[in-house]
Amino acid sequence: MGSLANDIIGCRACPRLVAYAAEVRESGRKPGFGAAGYWCRPVPSFGGRDAWLLIVGLAPGTHGAGRTGRPFTGDYAGDLLYRALWEQGWSSGPESRSRDDPLALDGVRIANALRCAPPQNKPTGDELKRCRPFLERELALLPQLETVLALGGVAHRQVIATVGGRQVDHKFGHGARHALPGVGWELVDSYHPSRYNLNTRRLTAEQFTEVLSSLRD
């Protein structure tokens, strides 16, 4: 077994996602399309193994992490997330611009429930199931882990399924906290900081910051 990052990048387990990445990559070779230079591969996690906080999102956005190769980098949700982490003192800067920029996280690691960009940002249940072993390995690599922050219901359910929990016992809710038996860390929920959620006021930047601040306790 290779390193987790290399195994993620090399994964080709989901035919639909592999085909979609190839389609996006091919579009970059056509005049008028903006996919030139896109990552177009599964996206590994970002952050060190000394993390006490693991943030789990939904999936790479086609024109966000699907372009840059770093979670939550290059889209609206990432702009909000990284600024919020910086304001908490958990990041060396307020912006994540590319996979190669010098940004460093302090005690935080960021991953996704699904490691590939799905069409219309909608993964299937089978795709999430195939990707679950990567999250299982991720959790095992973090000996100082205290909190997992799930951004959205899909991430919440993926975490619960990964550790063999019962979904019925742990309902998703913004700000909800879950003590999962036998894991040694706490699961905390937040609505995903997507542009849609912010525009519809399901989530505000202040509410998102409040959830992050509460993790200090």
182 backbone dihedrals φ, ψ, rounded to 5°: 80, 10
Which stretches of 1-152 are DSSP H helices?
4-9, 15-27, 65-68, 76-87, 125-140
Residue 216: what pLDDT?
84
- CA pair distance 150, 172, nearest whole angstrom: 9
Q: Which residues does the chain have with pLDDT short of 50?
A: 1
Residue 34: what pLDDT?
60
Residue 32: what pLDDT?
55
Residue 54: what pLDDT?
98
User: Which domains occur in the chain, in start order?
Assistant: 4-214 (3.40.470.10)
Q: Kindly state the helix (H) or strand (E) to which residue 188 belongs, with its residue range.
A: strand 186-190
Give Cα 69 distance to the centre of its chain.
12
The predicted-structure confidence for 73-101, as pLDDT tens digits, reads as follows: 999 999 999 999 999 999 999 999 999 99
CB neighbours of residue 155 within 10 Å: 28
Show Cβ contacts of residue 10 under 8 Å, excluding neighbours closer than 6 positions. 2, 42
CB neighbours of residue 196 within 10 Å: 12
